[in-house]
Amino acid sequence: MKEYTYTEKKDTRSGFGAGLAELGRTNPNVVALCADLTPSLKMGEFIKENPERFFQVGIAEANMMGMAAGMTIGGKIPFAGTFANFATGRVYDQIRQSIAYSGKNVKICASHAGLTLGEDGATHQILEDIGLMKMLPGMVVINPCDYNQTKAATIAIAEHNGPVYLRFGRPSVPIFTPADQKFEIGKAIQLQEGSDVTIIATGHLVWEALEAAKTLNDKGISADVINIHTIKPLDEEAIINSVKKTGCVVTAEEHNILGGLGESVARTLATNLPAPQEFIGTKDTFGESGTPAQLMEKYELNAEAIVKASEKVISRK
């Protein structure tokens, strides 16, 4: 079993900020827009270094998405940033028509996704955004797991010609992926090799999946752990190959079980290799105020919940 350790915790939004800053230095076509949340999205470095390529739109997300779409005409690559709630639900039709259906090269950069936004509560804790975005034809949906992966993903999506939804978050989480990783859109990452159960996780739940695999290992259960950072296009081959070995799967995401990664995995398996599956995610509910750790425990989005789900799904084989 591979050992994963970390020396530092950091927020994934800072990975976005670092990636954007690097793009500012390397890709002159990258422009950034924000709806009055630049400190929260860690966009300061890009703005400081490229003030002429930053567009502050004020608290007006619909206009921001429309402007971003228009800015692709003339060759720019707009990175439009705000909280995930305001980057999706609030502007769904703007994204649908002006970005997705129009096939525009816009990068929707969504911070503070999920429960781990914490104390601000359910108004800001969107748990439906992956579903909303993955349903849009042509939209790439990415939810990286730590600072390094978020930075790498931010840099990689500039090279992809088409709309992308990049989801990241607020809390500090362990940095366990390599700083020099190459981010390949749509390519799953095998973190642990195992034979009893497949654990497929995205975003903040990936570290929890690794912790769960350790506990399971202590119990004599061998878990195959896969990091799906790209929910769409989904690396179906990696999923199928793993479940061929293990015969069952647990999916884990900081999102409603309706419409999220779990359902994409279920569809893949149902049409290729039917297998028992358990879903770690919020159960069709809104969140609430609390610390990130309290919320992840209450809503059963942690390593402990993944262990329980793994034992259950193995029993269903």
Partner 1 sequence: MPNTQELQDLTTQVRRDLLRMVHKVNSGHPGGSLGCAEFLVTLYNEIMDLKPGFDMDGIDEDVFFLSNGHISPVFYSVLARRGYFPVEELSTFRLLNSRLQGHPTTHEGLPGIRMASGSLGQGLSVAIGAAQVKKMNNDSKLVYCLTGDGELQEGQNWEALMYASAKGVDNLIATVDLNGKQIDGPTDEVLNMGSVKAKFEAFGWTVLELKEGNNIEALIETLNKAKGLTGNGKPICILMETEMGNGVDFMMGTHHWHGMAPNDDQLADALAQNKETLGDY
**Does the footprint of partner 1 cover residue 96 (CB under 8 A)?**
yes
Q: Are 59 and 49 in contact (CB under 8 A)?
A: no
Q: Which of residues 117-146 bind partner 1 (CB under 8 A)?
A: none
CA dist 32 and 77 (Å) reads 8
CA dist 17 and 12 (Å) reads 9
**Does the footprint of partner 1 cover residue 276 (CB under 8 A)?**
no
Q: Which is nearer to partner 1, 66 or 194 (CB)?
A: 66
Binding segment toward partner 1, per CB under 8 A, in 65-73, 81-89, 235-243, 288-296: 65-73
Q: Which is nearer to partner 1, 97 or 291 (CB)?
A: 97
Considering CB under 8 A, how many residues would be counted as binding partner 1? Answer: 31
Binding test (CB under 8 A) with partner 1, winner from 8, 26, 73, 283? 73
Residue 71 C-beta: closest distance to partner 1, Å: 4
**Does the footprint of partner 1 cover residue 97 (CB under 8 A)?**
yes
Phi-psi region of 112 (alpha: psi -120 to 50; beta: other; left: phi over 0): left
Q: Which is nearer to partner 1, 31 or 225 (CB)?
A: 31
Residue type at 260 in one-letter notation: G
Other beta carbons less than 10 A from residue 182's beta carbon: 9
DSSP assigned state of 247: S
CA dist 116 and 294 (Å) reads 9
Q: Are 251 and 265 in contact (CB under 8 A)?
A: yes
Q: Which is nearer to partner 1, 53 or 107 (CB)?
A: 53
Residues contacting 152, CB < 8 A, separation 6+: 19, 144, 181, 182, 183
Binding test (CB under 8 A) with partner 1, winner from 8, 49, 93, 159? 93
Q: Are 34 and 61 in contact (CB under 8 A)?
A: no
**Does the footprint of partner 1 cover residue 161 (CB under 8 A)?**
no
Is there a catalytic annotation at residue 61? yes
Residue 236 C-beta: closest distance to partner 1, Å: 25
CA dist 142 and 185 (Å) reads 8
Buried/exposed code over 67-97 (b: 16+ C-beta within 10 A; e: otherwise): bbbebbeeebbbbbbbbbbbbbebbbebbbe
Q: Are 186 and 50 in contact (CB under 8 A)?
A: no
Q: Where do runs of H (alpha helix) occur along 122-164?
A: 129-134, 147-157
Q: Which of residues 221-240 bind partner 1 (CB under 8 A)?
A: none
Q: Which of residues 18-37 bind partner 1 (CB under 8 A)?
A: 31
**Does the footprint of partner 1 cover residue 69 (CB under 8 A)?**
yes
**Does the footprint of partner 1 cover residue 205 (CB under 8 A)?**
no
**Does the footprint of partner 1 cover residue 60 (CB under 8 A)?**
yes
Residue 46 C-beta: closest distance to partner 1, Å: 15
Element holding 62 (H helix, E strand): helix 61-71
Residue 95 C-beta: closest distance to partner 1, Å: 10
Q: List interacting residues with partner 1 (CB under 8 A).
A: 31, 52-53, 55, 57-58, 60, 62-76, 78, 93-94, 96-98, 101-103
- As annotated, the active-site residues are 61
